[in-house]
């Protein structure tokens, strides 16, 4: 793309003559008789016709408003509007009293009653600063609004003038159009067909301002010896400008605007295999100005719309500094080349005409699409190049601004330069026969491989200069080089791909809603000297697809990424990608998972989900393979179904492959003789409310019975709900807290109710004999078709293990074991390979509340699964069928990961859409590979309303209640661990899965099951 600002502006000459027209004039300030006058000639341009439809409107003047402001007081002393026949002659005299004025001329003002009323009532010069014209009045079918200003003009007797201290009888005014014009030519190596059968649909301009302030057309005179204008100096103080206007032109609806014509191709175009071209005949857009000219968010977007293909786009940029404004009276000649279907996923900024100016002496050629690029640590930038040299490569070092020493290229950009580990760099391609090539820039980072739980890579933000070299041989003979400056922004954290940390910091699973197919990102740092690979099992190749090509969403890795559905996974044929496997890469693990375009989608949001997995082989110190579990469909589904057997062997350790049976008490778990009687279908999503799911970030919102809604993505925390509020309570205002959905990102610090109030008798289904109402009638918030899950019974107390204390292993004491009750616990039998018993609350510990279960190594709580028999704590390691992970769901994987608290991570922190790392529960044995993700959302404290454990633990309510624990030894001032009316909840955390009785006043998450 190259830019030419419109060099001519419309001249209206003011001559002193004695003619007067009195028709078609609206004068809003009358003071007769007038002592002076000026006369205008050259107005009548309506006979002009241009080369293209509408061109004649570029210079046409249908109306003219003349405003005269007193030079000293700035008061408007003359406001006259001319139209119709008065503009049809050769001259126009404008009467005005003698004096010194600043004149403003407005041509072709919008035919809009609101605008006209504002203009008719201008009282002083400052009023101009708040006036704007709506965007709808700037298009190719209307006359173009214009403005001019001439300052310090003295009107003398007998029609004489003094301009800038010089006597004159002539005043020249340059009308500056408040619009910009764009002429578009598109070319392609692909024949998209003619107007009747074209795969080319049209073009779209978006992010257009909804109004144009008058002051953005001032100054109206060009700079000296230039056709360019200085920036506006008058501040705009009117209605705020929003950038929500879109202009779409299609072959169907706007056929006259398009001309598909191969004669537009030059000889050079044909030599470069371009075969198709279209011209778009003049597009008029509202001008766009903003003081921070390099702000990409304000740029006007240009999109080429292709039928059944992803549509490439770019941002209009008039200077490479960059400058994304579109000044008044600018003209852009935009030439875009759609090079290959492979590249239509790219958003270059901007498209650049591959002209002869890149050629060196007509002998050596190295043309590049970008010499500057911007990227995040989560996206890619594709730079295309063309050369007639036999060898093109990226040199082995790059320079970071501010650093004295250069860095190895592949430590900054993944698999880009030839070195010992990359003899054929995966992200670089050049075909010397055709002379075309590309490189995909993807940030790599440090070569650290650690074994802690929080191994982070270096923040790679900065500006790097790499060198593309074309030469006659691999030694660089007669080399021609291009320096490419790349600015990297990394807003979040990245982690070492370390499986021994229980997948902490890894992306170990992906999720798609029933109708989604767009990219899901899997990434993690990996050794530079070791390869990694990906394979899709044959059973899932009919619906899953993988590619190492990076995302080309320019905003992924920021707080405002694009929708993943706009970025389908496209394959790289130059690397032999077929969607079933990836190989040949080293360093950073980064690939995308998608659903095939022609896959058999899950029909509706209520249909049974599909499950699968892909294999990732990598080297964290030894060669190993990890399954990445995939789910498509948000409806409730079994993880472990009623018919799934309970194994007699307990497996654990980081890969679930170590037999830890001897470390787990039989009296604290179900055995192979038990059954999963309570297995239920769990939803994939937490609950929230309509307002909390929006963007206003309220503190809370009350919902109706069964009136909560699901979050949009599984990693999102959703809302916190108290188990219930006392239906028999008498505290004033209690009903205001019924079914209150609390914001998951902030504390709710209020004194008194709803925090710190006493316990009260509860039962979900009610208990008539104890005069307890059915709490589900008021506090069930799961939407229709779903309900709150159980941890046993809902019409009587669930003991779920030993009561009233946990005896030493091998003894029973006076306690009774109710572990068979957990066959009916939907939470325990649905989510865990070996369901376990117990209450992790300290009130249920050994007969003495503070006895430690591991021979003095620390009290983990008796309900912690699995319960260890000795101090080696092997049974505390990751359980088979669970992993602590980041979740690639189209939300978490697109935003910068930040630290919510020490060692605990999330995205979109500080608002009600926050999402966190969490636990993936999956079934690796049944053949279904079913999975569900529970984010570590935290909770609100029951006594203070303080937010706690965000990003580290998920607390999930059940509908079941437990027995009282009121033993005297539970009182240890200032602590009182007694509980009379507790409700069972799941604590889901890193290397820790607990069930415990909790006070009803905690505000926690709810994960529904299908009714």
Highest-confidence range of 71-75, 801-805, 858-862, by mean pLDDT?
71-75
842 pLDDT band, cuts 50/70/90, is low
Which tens digits make up the pLDDT trace of 363-410?
567 878 788 899 999 999 999 888 889 999 999 999 999 999 999 999
Residue 779 is given by DSSP the state H
Per-residue pLDDT of 368-380, as tens digits, reads 878 889 999 999 9
3-class DSSP assignment, residue 441: strand
* pLDDT top residue among 857 and 327: 327
Res. 191: pLDDT tops 90: no
- Residue 46 pLDDT > 60, yes or no? no
The predicted model scores a pTM of 0.68
Q: How many residues does the chain have?
A: 1011
Residues with Cβ within 8 Å of 370's Cβ and at least 6 positions away in sequence, in order, are 348, 349, 352, 381, 383, 484
Residue with tokens 């002193």: 16
- Structure token pair of residue 289: 């100005």
Residues in contact with 879: Cβ distance below 8 Å, sequence separation at least 6, in sequence order? 651, 652, 656, 832, 833, 834, 865, 866, 993
User: What is the rounded average pLDDT of the residues 1-10?
Assistant: 32
Predicted pLDDT of residue 41: 56
**Which helix (H) or strand (E) segment is 131 a member of?**
none
* Number of Cα atoms under 13 Å in the Cβ half of residue 133: 31
Q: Is residue 579 within 8 Å of residue 536, measured between CB atoms?
A: yes
pLDDT at residue 447, as a whole number: 53
Residue 422 has pLDDT above 70, yes or no: yes
Give me the half-sphere count of Cα atoms (radius 13 Å) on the Cβ side of residue 939. 26
Cα 380 from chain centroid?
15
- Would you say residue 845 has pLDDT above 60? no
Q: Where does residue 900 rank: exposed (0-12), middle (13-18), buried (19+ CB within 10 A)?
A: buried
Q: How far apart are CA 872 and CA 1, in angstroms?
A: 67
Residue 7: predicted pLDDT: 31
Q: In angstroms, what CA-CA distances link 489 with 486, 897, 927?
A: 10, 13, 42
What are the tokens at 120?
């008719």
Gyration radius of the chain over CA positions: 36
In 3D, which of 9, 325, 8 has the Cα closest to residue 148? 9
List C-alpha distances in Å: 446 to 136, 324, 438, 456. 52, 34, 24, 9
Q: How far apart are CA 741 and CA 755, in angstroms?
A: 15
- Report pLDDT for 224: 64
Q: What is the 3-state secondary structure (H, E, C) of 223-279?
A: CCCCCCCCCCCCCCCCCCCCCCEEEEEECCCCHHHEEECHHHCCHHHHHCCCCEEEE
H-type helices in 910-995, by residue range? none
Helix (H) or strand (E) holding 335, with range, is strand 331-338
Cα separation, 363 vs 115, in Å, equals 60
Under the banding of pLDDT at 50, 70 and 90, the label for residue 271 is confident
Phi-psi region of 225 (alpha: psi -120 to 50; beta: other; left: phi over 0): left
Instruction: Give percent of the chain with pLDDT exceeding 90.
Output: 54
Whole-number Å distance between alpha carbons of 260 and 205:
19
How many percent of the chain have pLDDT more than 70? 84
pLDDT tens by residue, 943-973 = 999 999 999 999 999 999 999 998 877 787 7
CA distance 451 to 496: 9
Report d(CA 703, CA 699) in Å as an integer: 13
Of 762, 745, 739, which is closest to residue 938 (Cα–Cα)?
745
Beta-strand relationship, 428-431 and 381-387: unpaired
Q: Select from 561, 502, 533 the least CA-distant residue to 619.
A: 533
Strands 507-512 and 624-632: parallel
Cβ neighbourhood burial of 18 (10 Å; 0-12, 13-18, 19+): exposed
Helix (H/G/I), strand (E/B), else coil: 622: coil
Task: Supply the DSSP symbol for 116.
Answer: H
Taking residues 446-462, report their average pLDDT: 69
Task: Measure Cα distances from 739 to 710, 934, 984 in Å.
Answer: 15, 21, 18
Q: What is the mean predicted confidence (pLDDT) over 269-278?
A: 87
pLDDT digits (tens, 9 = 90+) for 653-711: 666 778 888 777 888 889 999 999 999 999 999 999 999 999 999 999 999 999 999 99
Give the tens place of pLDDT for each residue, 984-993.
999 998 877 8
pLDDT band (50, 70, 90) for residue 777: very high
Q: Which domains does the chain have, with CATH numbers?
A: 2-178 (2.60.40), 181-209+228-343 (2.60.40), 356-489 (2.60.40.10), 514-633 (no CATH)
Mean pLDDT for the stretch of residues 534-541: 97
Distance CA 571, CA 584 (A): 15
- Three-state secondary-structure class, residue 101: strand
């Amino acid at each position: 793309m190259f830019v030419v600002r419109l060099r001519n502006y419309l001249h209206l000459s003011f001559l002193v003559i004695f003619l007067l027209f009195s028709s078609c004039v609206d004068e809003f300030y009358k003071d007769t008789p007038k002592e002076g006058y000026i006369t205008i000639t050259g107005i009548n341009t309506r006979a002009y016709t241009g080369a293209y439809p509408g061109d004649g409107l570029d210079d046409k003047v249908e109306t003219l408003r003349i405003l005269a402001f007193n030079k000293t007081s700035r008061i408007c002393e003359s406001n006259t509007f001319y139209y119709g026949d008065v503009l049809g002659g050769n001259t126009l005299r404008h009467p005005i009293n003698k004096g010194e004025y600043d004149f403003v001329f407005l041509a072709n003002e919008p035919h809009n009653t609101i605008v006209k009323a504002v203009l008719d009532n201008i009282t002083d010069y400052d009023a101009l600063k708040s006036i704007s014209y709506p965007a709808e009045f700037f298009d190719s079918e209307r006359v173009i609004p214009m403005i001019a200003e001439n300052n310090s003009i003295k009107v003398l007797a007998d029609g004489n003038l003094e301009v800038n201290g010089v006597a004159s009888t002539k005043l020249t005014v340059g009308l500056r159009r408040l619009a910009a014009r764009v002429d578009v030519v598109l070319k392609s190596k692909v024949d998209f067909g003619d107007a009747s059968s074209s795969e080319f649909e049209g073009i779209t301009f978006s992010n257009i301002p909804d109004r144009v302030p008058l002051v953005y057309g001032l100054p109206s005179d060009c700079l000296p010896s230039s056709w360019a204008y200085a920036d506006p100096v008058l501040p705009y103080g009117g209605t705020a400008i929003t950038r929500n206007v879109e202009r779409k032109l299609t072959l169907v609806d706007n056929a006259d605007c398009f001309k598909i014509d191969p004669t537009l191709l030059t000889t050079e175009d044909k030599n470069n295999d371009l075969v198709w071209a279209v011209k778009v005949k003049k597009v008029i857009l509202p001008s766009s100005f903003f003081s921070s000219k390099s702000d990409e968010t304000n740029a006007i977007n240009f999109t080429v719309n292709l039928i059944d293909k992803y549509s490439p786009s770019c941002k209009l940029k008039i200077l490479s500094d960059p400058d994304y404004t579109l000044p008044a009276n600018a003209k852009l000649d935009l030439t875009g080349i759609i090079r290959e279907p492979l590249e239509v996923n790219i958003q270059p900024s901007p498209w650049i005409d591959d002209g002869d100016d890149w050629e060196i002496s007509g002998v050596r050629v190295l043309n590049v699409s970008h010499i500057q690029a911007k990227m995040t640590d989560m996206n890619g930038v594709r730079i295309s190049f063309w050369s007639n040299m036999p060898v093109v490569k990226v040199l082995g070092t790059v320079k970071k601004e501010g650093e004295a020493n250069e860095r190895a290229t592949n430590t900054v950009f993944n698999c880009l330069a030839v070195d010992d580990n990359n003899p054929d760099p995966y992200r670089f391609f050049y075909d010397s026969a055709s002379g075309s090539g590309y490189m995909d820039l993807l940030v790599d980072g440090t070569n650290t491989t650690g074994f802690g739980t929080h191994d982070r890579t270096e923040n790679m933000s900065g500006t790097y200069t790499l060198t593309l070299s074309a030469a006659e041989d691999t030694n660089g003979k007669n080399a021609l080089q291009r320096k490419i400056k790349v600015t990297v922004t990394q807003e979040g954290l990245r982690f070492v791909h370390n499986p021994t940390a229980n997948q902490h910091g890894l992306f170990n699973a992906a999720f798609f809603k029933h109708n989604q197919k767009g990219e899901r990102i899997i990434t993690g740092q990996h050794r530079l000297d070791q390869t990694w690979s990906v394979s899709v099992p044959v059973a899932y190749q009919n619906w899953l697809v993988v590619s190492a090509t990076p995302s080309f969403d320019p905003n992924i890795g920021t707080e405002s990424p694009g929708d993943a559905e706009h970025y389908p996974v496209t394959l790289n044929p130059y690397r032999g990608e077929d969607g079933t496997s990836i190989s040949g890469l080293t360093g950073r693990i980064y690939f995308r998972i998608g659903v095939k375009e022609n896959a058999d989608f899950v029909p509706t949001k209520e249909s049974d989900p599909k499950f699968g997995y892909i294999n990732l082989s990598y080297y964290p110190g030894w060669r190993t393979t990890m399954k990445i579990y995939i789910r498509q469909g948000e409806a409730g589904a079994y993880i472990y179904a009623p018919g799934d057997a309970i194994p007699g062997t307990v497996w654990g350790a980081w890969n679930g492959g170590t037999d830890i049976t001897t470390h787990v008490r039989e009296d604290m778990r179900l055995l192979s003789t038990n059954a999963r009687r309570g297995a239920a279908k769990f939803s994939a999503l937490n609950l929230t409310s309509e307002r909390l799911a929006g963007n206003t970030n309220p503190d809370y919102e009350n919902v109706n019975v069964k009136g909560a809604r699901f979050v949009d993505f599984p990693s999102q925390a959703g809302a916190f709900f108290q188990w219930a509020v006392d239906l028999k309570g008498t505290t004033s205002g209690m009903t205001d807290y019924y079914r209150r959905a609390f914001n998951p990102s902030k504390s709710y610090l209020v004194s008194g109710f709803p925090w710190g109030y006493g316990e009260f008798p509860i039962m979900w289904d009610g208990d008539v004999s104890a005069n307890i109402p059915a709490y589900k009638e008021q506090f069930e918030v799961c939407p229709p078709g779903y309900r709150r899950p159980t941890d046993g019974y809902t019409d009587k107390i669930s003991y779920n293990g030993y009561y009233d204390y946990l005896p030493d292993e091998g003894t029973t004491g006076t306690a009774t074991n109710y572990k068979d009750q957990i066959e009916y616990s939907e939470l325990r039998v649905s989510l865990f390979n070996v369901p376990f018993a117990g209450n992790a609350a300290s009130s249920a510990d050994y007969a003495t509340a503070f006895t430690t279960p591991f021979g003095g190594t620390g009290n983990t709580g008796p309900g912690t699964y699995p319960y260890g028999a000795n101090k080696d704590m092997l049974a505390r390691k990751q359980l088979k069928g669970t992993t602590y992970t980041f979740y690639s769901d189209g939300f978490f994987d697109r935003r910068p990961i930040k630290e919510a608290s020490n060692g605990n991570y999330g995205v979109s922190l500080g608002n009600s859409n926050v999402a966190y790392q969490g636990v993936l529960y999956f079934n690796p044995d049944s053949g279904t590979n079913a999975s569900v993700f529970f984010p570590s959302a935290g909770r609100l404290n029951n006594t203070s309303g303080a937010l706690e454990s965000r990003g580290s633990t998920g607390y999930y309510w059940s509908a079941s209640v437990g027995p009282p624990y009121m033993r005297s030894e539970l009182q240890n001032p200032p602590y009182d661990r007694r509980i009379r009316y507790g409700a069972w909840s799941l604590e889901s955390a890193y290397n820790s899965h607990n069930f415990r009785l909790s006070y009803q006043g905690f505000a926690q998450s709810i994960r529904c099951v299908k009714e």
